[in-house]
Structure 1
Amino acid sequence: MDARDVIKIGMSAERTLVVPPERTVGHFVSGMPMVYATPMMILEMEVTSGDAVRGALQPGWITVGTEVDVRHLAATPVGATVRTTARVIEVERRVIRFAVEAFDGERKIGEGKHARGLVNYEQFTKRFGVPERKP
């Protein structure tokens, strides 16, 4: 499958999340504040990017994260609503690049770029011995 045949520049998605204690840096690192952790923000950006293109993929195909270049701009407390956006900005044969952002209300708390690789699920799972589980 060639991503250029089905993925178009401008495809996008948005997700919202109310920050739970389990997604704070203090949950993972003792003595740190209970604010939204950078890796958790990046996870939301990756999932949102996958959401932006999932519906266009042929059956049996998925995307997996391959690159992250993100800045975490501001702290966000537990209970705040974070809105994450992803928009396709470039499409290669097997690589899809996204502009990603995260907001706490109107305040931008994160921004950057993310890339996802297009892979055939069955071939991927056979190659790495990942247990069977259909996408």
Structure 2
Amino acid sequence: MQEQPEPALAPGLTAVVELTVTDADTAQALGSGDVPVLGTPRVLALAEAATVAATAARLAAGTTTVGLRVELEHRAATPIGRTVRAQARLAEVDGRRLAFEVTVTDGDGIVADGRVERMVVDRRRFVERAARHA
């Protein structure tokens, strides 16, 4: 009896990315508010970067992932100079659809948490289709 190889993309894959908040990361700079704290768009970008990192080494050649859906609760303000850490864990694989649980923390606790869904696509075909709609 042959052992089945473990799927390349399986629940449990994780990655962590970090960011030290600068002026460019604030709600003021991003146009999402007028306060000098980490802006929600930057929190989302950091969370998505963690999801991309969690699967990057496991994707088949010529494939990539693209974002489908995000549910994110931004719970706490983070001032300039503080470092935040986004962790993504692949929670579910349904064909080409990947669902991640994400948590963003700083030294004091949870800054944001939620769920990010991505889809595995053929990179070349995806870019070609996008160019046709430009």
Could you state the TM-score of these two structures normalised by the residue count of structure 2?
A: 0.89
Gaps of 5+ in 2: 1-5
CA shift for structure 1 position 129: 1.3
Q: Find 2:90's aligned residue among 76, 85, 88.
A: 88
Q: Quick check: 2:76–2:112 contact (8 Å CA) kept in 1?
A: yes
Match of 1:59 in 2: 61
Match of 1:8 in 2: 10
CA shift for structure 1 position 31: 7.3
Match of 1:133 in 2: none
**Judging changes above 3 Å, is the alpha-carbon distance between structure 1 residues 54 and 30 closer, same or farther for their aligned structure 2 residues?**
closer
| Letter matched to residue 51 of structure 2 | S
> Aligned residues, how many?
127
CA shift for structure 1 position 28: 2.9
Sequence identity percentage: 32
Gaps of 5+ in 1: 131-135
Match of 1:124 in 2: 126
Question: Are positions 1:29 and 2:31 aligned together?
Answer: yes
Query: Moved runs in structure 1, 4+ residues, more than 6 A?
Result: none
**SS in structure 2 at match of 1:36:** coil
Tell me which structure has the larger Cα radius of gyration: 2
* Counterparts of 2:44 and 2:33, CA distance in 1: 22
Per-residue deviation, residues 33-76 of structure 1 (Å, max 9, x unmatched): 11000111011101110100010001110001111001000000
Question: Are positions 1:69 and 2:71 aligned together?
Answer: yes
CA shift for structure 1 position 5: 3.7
- Measured on the aligned residues, the alpha-carbon RMSD in Å equals 1.7
* Counterparts of 1:41 and 1:9, CA distance in 2: 23
* Counterparts of 1:88 and 1:55, CA distance in 2: 14
CA shift for structure 1 position 128: 1.4
**SS in structure 1 at match of 2:116:** strand
Could you state the TM-score of these two structures normalised by the residue count of structure 1?
A: 0.89
* Counterparts of 1:55 and 1:31, CA distance in 2: 36
**Judging changes above 3 Å, is the alpha-carbon distance between structure 1 residues 5 and 24 closer, same or farther for their aligned structure 2 residues?**
same
Match of 2:3 in 1: none
CA shift for structure 1 position 18: 0.2
